[in-house]
A and B are shown apart, each in its own frame.
Chain A
Amino acid sequence: DSGVTQTPKHLITATGQRVTLRCSPRSGDLSVYWYQQSLDQGLQFLIQYYNGEERAKGNILERFSAQQFPDLHSELNLSSLELGDSALYFCASSAAGLYGYTFGSGTRLTVV
């Protein structure tokens, strides 16, 4: 157990729907990062939050949004889902001032 908790582990939904993925970082970690992993795209950075504030943004679609709450957990919202959004979504967290981060075990999203 890495200490980063992601729920749910699997999600199957239909095109056009909206889903919410949840991440609880390791205790004390202030930064949360979201990544998308498709079969042929490696790990694509989506967005980073630090202590509730957006810190950096990657190639995140306008249909996707995220937030980090006062208790530091984060949610990634995916709307108007398309078949191409099927992927593994990983959350990672890091401690302030330290290098490297810890990944959760991911949420596998299947859009049908």
Chain B
Amino acid sequence: GENVEQHPSTLSVQEGDSAVIKCTYSDSASNYFPWYKQELGKGPQLIIDIRSNVGEKKDQRIAVTLNKTAKHFSLHITETQPEDSAVYFCADTGKNRDDKIIFGKGTRLHILP
């Protein structure tokens, strides 16, 4: 993958509400789409990923959906909690498992009390 667009750049949601972050990619050969969460002062941490043979994947309060035809994928966080406040990055890699990962510019998520 060579180009990943991510939006919004900043998102504020009330605690308990849902948050959605969207990304689009350009390389139709891409087949692996991870999401990373970066807390202040730490390195990015993989929170969920999806492969191109799957349309949706869920892990407790987080889910990722993939639309290969439209080349976009989204992160959904339900029942948001204060600890969800962080910067979230979507990413795209090439068709090979060891390919470099190209990141979106990130979304700063604020959970409001």
Contacts and interface: CB of A to CB of B under 8 A. Distances in A.
Q: Do chains A and B interact in one complex? A: yes
Interface of A: 2, 4, 31, 33, 35, 42-43, 45, 48, 50, 55-56, 58, 90, 92, 94, 96-106
For the residues of A in contact with B, the DSSP-based class is strand
Q: How large is the interface on B (under 10, 10 to 19, 20 to 34, 35 or more residues)?
A: 20 to 34
Interface string B74-113: 0000000000000001000100011111111110000000
A42 B97 contact: no
Contacts of A90: 43-44
A80 B44 CA distance: 28
A112 B46 CA distance: 33
Given A99-B34, A100-B34, 20 more contacts: A42-B103, A42-B104, A42-B106, A43-B89, A43-B106, A45-B102, A90-B43, A90-B44, A92-B43, A94-B98, A97-B97, A99-B32, A100-B32, A100-B46, A102-B46, A103-B36, A103-B44, A105-B41, A105-B43, A106-B42
